[in-house]
Chain A
Amino acid sequence: MKIMVAVKQVAALDEDFKIRADGRDVVDEYLIRDLNEWDDFSLEEAVKIKEATGDPVEVIAVTVGPEDADDSLRKCLAKGADRALRVWDDLIEGSDPIAIARILAAVARREAPDMLFAGVQSSDHSFAATGIATAAFLDWPHAAVVSLLNYVPGAKTATLRRELEGGLLHEVEVCCPAVLTIQLGINTPRYASLRSIKQAAAKAIESLSLSDLKLSAADVGEAGSRSRVRRMYVPDKGRAELIEGDVGVQAKRLAEIIKEYKGQAA
């Protein structure tokens, strides 16, 4: 049995950064890469299920990204994934979540997992779309924002709770195989041990091309996307009035604000 976990190597901005000359993204050297926070939880969920199952379960971490995304896949291997697979081709550059989902669906067709997890969203661009779009391309049942899951690999259904707004949960039973997008807090992701990090470093990462997946240039990049980035810009800094000075001065002013609110003389 097999659980596929779709992961993303996200990018955060360095303290200082520059927008690219074409105005459509940030200059690459100012981006700090890491495994998406949500994916840490979906991987953990898959590994937990594997450990709780008597029959062998294979956990496969899959990403779409250039070679440096291997760092995130190695993190997944160190935390319990059995295999890691990366899809890339320069044509994929500029893909939106729909195009990425088409690629992930093609991987799922090839790997035929019993269940597919993805994070609810990514911390960089927060689309909250890739996992559920993948389900559509596979025509699999799906549920978004799962904060509790009862699933035994091989079972025909899984029971889960969707985390709704305002602290409300909605229990749903879904037929399997399914695509579930996993919410933060569903579990406590483990830390990788030094030993497992070393082992992961030695493991091979499988790579697939578009032709391996029977996809063409029209399926990916801007051609295969449903939106196109036109411009990226830094918004106005907001309206916060900065309280300057040393710590003592800052804390004194904050105390005044509190006392003004409470109607006391500062």
Chain B
Amino acid sequence: MSTILVIAEQRRQELRPISLELLGAAQSIRQPGDEVVVAVLAKSPDRFVPALSLAGVDEIVTVGTEAEEFDPEIFESAVTALMAARRPTIVLVGHSVDSFGYAAALAARQNCGFGSDVFRVDRIDGEMVATRGGYGQKVCVEVDFPGRDTVLLAIRANVFKPPDGSTNPKVSAFAAPATVSRSTAKEFIELAAGDDVDMTAAEFILTVGRGIGEEAKIPEFRALADAIGATLGCSRPIADAGWLPKSRQVGQSGKTASACKLYIAMGVSGAIQHLAGMKHVSTIVAVNSDAEASIFGVAKYGIVGDVFEIAEELRRHF
């Protein structure tokens, strides 16, 4: 029997969605006889027990920590202690901002296999094989971990589905070792809205990306968005450059196009961080001059061509 240890993620008293997705990933990896143990680290971790009591979870380990919120050193030492106590063969964490802060440190100090941004896990001839993207997601890369007893995998968000149904797993408490962190968490700050647009509520979005080339092109696409009745959004480089306010950025660190039904991406290459905010939309149309752009991998319709020419022609129809 071997143990799959899942590290749940919480922030401001709420479980993050990735926590449940990791349970789904554990379900897809588990073999007969394996046990799935999920650990939740928080000042008062018991509150998360009901939400984690999903089908396939054999045990929930509550780990009380000094800090209310994520701290890289406290997390690393607690997970290290959990790994020593439970000897898991697989440890699953999210490929998330919190995990960016400690997973690689954990891997460096523990003698374990390590793969990040993993979106598929298989066992081939008994060996664990993790698949991730390479060269800007244009190829898939299979990695393995020869000779490792434990493998730590950081799993990509929005890939695995949470398990259906609930259960009554065993619940146990684990005492995290006392750790003095060299970081002090201060406060959370909501990013100031740049304007009053709410991308999460928009049902029809026209997004512009790096492919539009220069700030001077923004008014043209704003006019197009107005003409077709879409909300104008953008990918990260456009917001970082200040061409559009941050509130219009769709993606992992921006907004999720939660209510969107039609999404037209013009000159957006489709970085994984952007896809995280829109790939669920039922009708995505991608317009890009690069036929190899990753955005075509999630789009329903694709137009390989010049975004300015398409925009100009499209304008004639409205």
Contacts and interface: CB of A to CB of B under 8 A. Distances in A.
B47 interface: no
Given A240-B302, A258-B228, A126 B117 contact: yes
B159 interface: no
Contacts, number: 271
B135 A12 contact: yes
A143 interface: yes
User: Of A128, A165, A183, A240, which is in contact with the most chain B CB atoms at under 10 Å from its CB?
Assistant: A165
Interface string A205-225: 000000000000000000000
A197 B313 CA distance: 42
B239 A257 contact: no
B107 A133 contact: yes
Given A241-B300, A247-B306, A251-B316, A173 B190 contact: no
B147 to A, nearest CB: 10
Interface residues of B, number: 98
A242 interface: yes
B167 interface: no
Contacts of A173: 183-184, 186
Given A125-B134, A234-B139, A133 B100 contact: no
B145 A257 contact: no
Contacts of B287: 254
Given A124-B134, A228-B143, A251 B317 contact: yes
B245 to A, nearest CB: 11
B142 A230 contact: yes
B143 A229 contact: yes
Interface in A86-136: 96-98, 101-102, 120, 123-133, 135-136
B6 interface: no
A229 B104 CA distance: 18
Interface in B200-240: 204, 228-229, 236-237, 239-240
Nearest to B146: A228
Contact of A172 (B136, B184, B264): B184
A171 B305 contact: no
B285 interface: yes
A98 B104 contact: yes
Nearest to A249: B313
B73 interface: yes
B297 A175 contact: no
Contacts of A15: 292
Interface stretch (A50-58, A64-72, A73-81, A156-164): A156-164
Nearest to A167: B191
Contacts of A124: 134-136
Nearest to B302: A240
Interface in B242-298: 246-247, 249, 252-256, 261-262, 264, 272, 283, 285-287, 292, 296-298
Interface residues of A, number: 83
B170 interface: no
B197 interface: no
Q: Main SS of the interface on chain B?
A: mixed
Contacts of A255: 314, 317-318
Contact of A132 (B104, B296, B299): B104
Given A165-B253, A226-B145, A247-B313, A237 B183 contact: no
Nearest to A125: B134
Contacts of B256: 166
Contact of B310 (A13, A127, A237, A247): A247
B183 A240 contact: no
A190 interface: no
Nearest to A132: B104
Nearest to B105: A136
Interface in B28-85: 69-70, 72-73
B108 A126 contact: no
Interface in B146-202: 146, 148, 181-191
B116 A127 contact: yes
A128 B298 contact: no
B138 interface: yes
Interface in B90-127: 95-98, 100-109, 112-117
A135 B105 contact: yes
Interface in A147-183: 159, 161-175, 178, 181, 183
6 contacts: A11-B135, A166-B253, A170-B186, A170-B187, A232-B141, A254-B303
Given A129-B107, A143-B183, A226-B114, 18 more contacts: A12-B136, A13-B136, A125-B141, A126-B132, A128-B117, A165-B16, A167-B246, A167-B253, A168-B189, A172-B185, A175-B183, A185-B236, A227-B113, A227-B130, A238-B299, A242-B304, A253-B301, A261-B204
